[in-house]
């Protein structure tokens, strides 16, 4: 075996897609209108081979990623760390405000994400963190990094690579 070889596994599937609504701010004070995308997700893990000759079991990776994707599907994505979009949970509803604009959604239709803006990059970051909490490096695997790719619109991908300590 070549000791300098590096291995990766990558998973992407037609069903690793979530349909969700969001709005972001950009260039300081511009806030988009609420709109939706069919976001496609791919994951890639890097690390040494285990006794099976695996970096990580594709099937376990696919199934874990599917759980996170399903949690986002048919939801409104709201950022809880945005400096100007204020998100408040109230009984059965969630209220979001930005300057003099206000949106109210049923609580169960929303997912509140601890991100500063629901950009594809920060959604990819959050998905990567979710994956790491479950499959993080341990005795059974020695994953070195997790890379999540999120396609917001055809051919428009954001990629977040998280090193595993
Ligand atoms: N690097 C990033 N760039 C942009 C992001 C992002 O998350 N990361 N997001 C946006 C907006 O969300 C924008 O709404 C993207 O929507 P999209 O539908 O792709 O843009 P268009 O309006 O050009 O597409 P239509 O198909 O014409 O609706 C922008 N940039």
Q: What is the pTM of this model?
A: 0.95
Does residue 2 fall inside a structural domain? no
pLDDT tens digits, 63-84: 999 999 999 999 999 999 999 9
Would the annotation count 86 as a binding residue?
no
- For β-strands 86-90 and 93-98, DSSP reports them as antiparallel
Torsion of CA 55, 60, 63, 65, to 10 degrees: -40
Distance (Å, whole) CA 31 – CA 28: 9
Distance (Å, whole) CA 69 – CA 63: 10
Nearest CA to ligand 1 atom 24: 153
CATH of the domain at 46: 3.30.479.10
pLDDT tens digits, 111-153: 999 999 999 999 999 999 999 999 887 777 789 999 999 999 9
Average pLDDT value for the chain: 95
Taking Cα atoms as reference points, which of 122, 119, 111 lies closest to residue 76? 111
Domain count, the chain: 1
Write out residues with Cβ below 6 Å of ligand 1: 24, 32, 119-121, 152-153, 156, 158
Q: Model ipTM?
A: 0.91
Handedness of CA 88, 90, 94, 96 (dihedral sign): negative
Distance (Å, whole) CA 122 – CA 72: 14
Does residue 1 fall inside a structural domain? no
Would the annotation count 35 as a binding residue?
yes
pLDDT exceeds 70 at position 44: yes
Domain residues for the domain of 27 are 7-163
Does residue 136 fall inside a structural domain? yes
């Amino acid at each position: 075996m070549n000791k300098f070889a590096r291995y990766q596994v990558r998973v992407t599937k037609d069903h690793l897609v979530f349909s969700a609504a969001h709005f972001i701010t950009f260039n300081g004070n511009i806030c988009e209108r609420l709109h939706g995308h069919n976001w496609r997700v791919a994951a890639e893990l890097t690390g040494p081979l285990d006794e099976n000759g695996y970096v990580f079991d594709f099937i376990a990776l696919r199934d874990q990623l599917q759980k996170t994707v399903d949690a986002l599907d048919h939801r409104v994505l709201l950022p809880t760390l945005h400096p100007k979009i204020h998100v408040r949970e109230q009984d059965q509803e969630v209220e979001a405000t930005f300057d003099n604009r206000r949106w109210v959604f049923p609580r169960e239709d929303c997912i509140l994400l601890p991100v500063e803006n629901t950009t594809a990059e920060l959604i990819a970051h959050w998905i990567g963190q979710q994956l790491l909490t479950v499959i993080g490096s341990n005795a059974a695997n020695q994953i070195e990094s997790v890379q999540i790719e999120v396609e917001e619109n055809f051919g428009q991908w954001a990629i977040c690579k998280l090193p595993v300590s």
